[in-house]
């Protein structure tokens, strides 16, 4: 997995379950995406503040150390990071009507349907917010 990503094909995958993280990274890489991984929100934030600039962040909301919710709050406060679209991937998703307030561009519930995850990522690349259609 790479450490420097091109925004147009780069994904930062934030997932605490190592098995799920590795499996999702493999799927995304097989689709042609460059994937960087983080085990929790703090690690993701550190990588972003260190210069990593993915085109999309795929974020598990329930992670140790720093939850996805805490990550979203800090990301939205940082003008350098706020514009990076976030797709949440969690068993406990935010409601689609609330998603824009949190900076969420897409919602995929766990267990993730791979086809839906890939379609949501493609829609985000194309500039479409899919949060309202994923509930």
Domain boundaries, the chain: 10-109+122-133
Question: In CATH, which superfamily holds the domain spanning 10-109+122-133?
Answer: Response regulator (3.40.50.2300)
Tell me the per-residue pLDDT of 69-113, one tens digit each, with 9 for 90 and over: 899 999 999 999 999 999 998 776 566 666 666 778 888 888 888
Tell me whether the omega of the peptide bond preceding residue 96 falls within 30 degrees of 0, making it cis. Answer: no
Computed from CA positions of residues 34, 38, 41, 47, in that sequence, does the dihedral angle turn out positive or negative?
Answer: negative
Tell me the per-residue pLDDT of 45-65, one tens digit each, with 9 for 90 and over: 999 999 999 999 999 988 999
pTM given for the model: 0.86
Tell me the per-residue pLDDT of 26-47, one tens digit each, with 9 for 90 and over: 999 999 999 999 999 999 999 9
CA distances to 26, 38, 110 from 2, rounded to whole Å, are 13, 12, 25
Are 124 and 107 contacting, i.e. CB atoms less than 8 angstroms apart?
no
Are 104 and 125 contacting, i.e. CB atoms less than 8 angstroms apart?
no
Instruction: Enter the tokens of residue 54.
Output: 């993915």
């Amino acid at each position: 997995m790479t450490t420097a990503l091109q925004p147009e094909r780069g994904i930062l995958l934030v997932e605490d379950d190592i098995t799920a993280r590795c499996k999702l990274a493999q799927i995304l890489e097989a689709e042609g995406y460059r994937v960087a991984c983080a085990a929790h929100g703090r690690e993701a934030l550190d990588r972003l503040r260190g210069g990593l600039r993915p085109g999309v962040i795929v974020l598990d909301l329930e992670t140790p150390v720093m939850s996805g919710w805490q990550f979203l709050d800090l990301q939205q406060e940082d003008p350098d990071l706020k514009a990076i679209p976030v797709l949440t991937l969690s068993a406990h998703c935010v409601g689609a009507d609330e998603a824009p307030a949190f900076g969420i561009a897409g919602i995929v519930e766990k267990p993730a349907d791979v086809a839906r995850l890939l379609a949501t990522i493609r829609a985000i690349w194309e500039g479409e917010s899919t949060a309202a259609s994923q509930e």
